[in-house]
Amino acid sequence: MLKPPPILAGKDFAAPSVFEPENLLREARRQKNLPGSAVPEICLLDPDGDIVRVLAKAGRARRFAGWACYHTELYEFEHGGEHFGIIGCAVGASFAVLLAEQLFASGCRLLISMTSAGQIVEQGSPPYFILIDRALRDEGTSYHYLPPAEFAGADEVLVEAAMKAFAAVG
């Protein structure tokens, strides 16, 4: 009989994390002499960095001075009357999770990851958006947060709401 891989051993998904994002941010603020600042409630992860570069080049994004993360810079911008935060070049599941935890601990209420991908099966003439409702769990990070399964699925109510919103805008 095969033993389960070590990444699946000894997991207690209900136990609190040893590394709390609030503690990481507190120490970063102390070391950088930064005040506690709430980030925008809506934030984007821009793994490719394209959106951040376009916003910066157009003079629409400014660096958020209160962001305490050691590894990234948070920018803020306005669009359609809404205030957004955005972090560029957030590549990889474990890094994205680190940033997500720190953003939520800093006041973010909605986090959207915007990226690009190639087509395996043509769905139409690009560009277009695809709403991802599940992910194949082959990266390792999710096994620290959820019990083992082949896929991690998005909340069905949230997917339905997003589909309706996308349909409304075409």
Residue ranges of the domains in the chain? 20-116, 125-170
Q: Specify the CATH number of the domain 20-116.
A: 3.40.50.1580
| pLDDT at site 1 | 65
Q: Which residue carries 């669009």 as its tokens?
A: 79
| pLDDT at site 109 | 97
* C-beta neighbour count of 61 within 10 angstroms: 22
Q: Evaluate whether 88 touches 46 at the Cβ level (below 8 Å).
A: yes
Alpha-carbon torsion angle 110, 143, 105, 153, nearest 10: 20
H runs (alpha helix) in 33-106: 50-57, 93-105
93: nearest Cα among 163, 29, 22, 7: 7
| pLDDT at site 108 | 98
Q: Which residues, at least 6 apart from 61, have a Cβ–Cβ distance to it below 8 Å?
A: 52, 55, 75, 76, 77, 86
**Mean pLDDT by groups of 10 residues along the chain of 170 residues:** 74 82 94 93 96 97 95 97 97 92 97 82 79 84 83 93 88
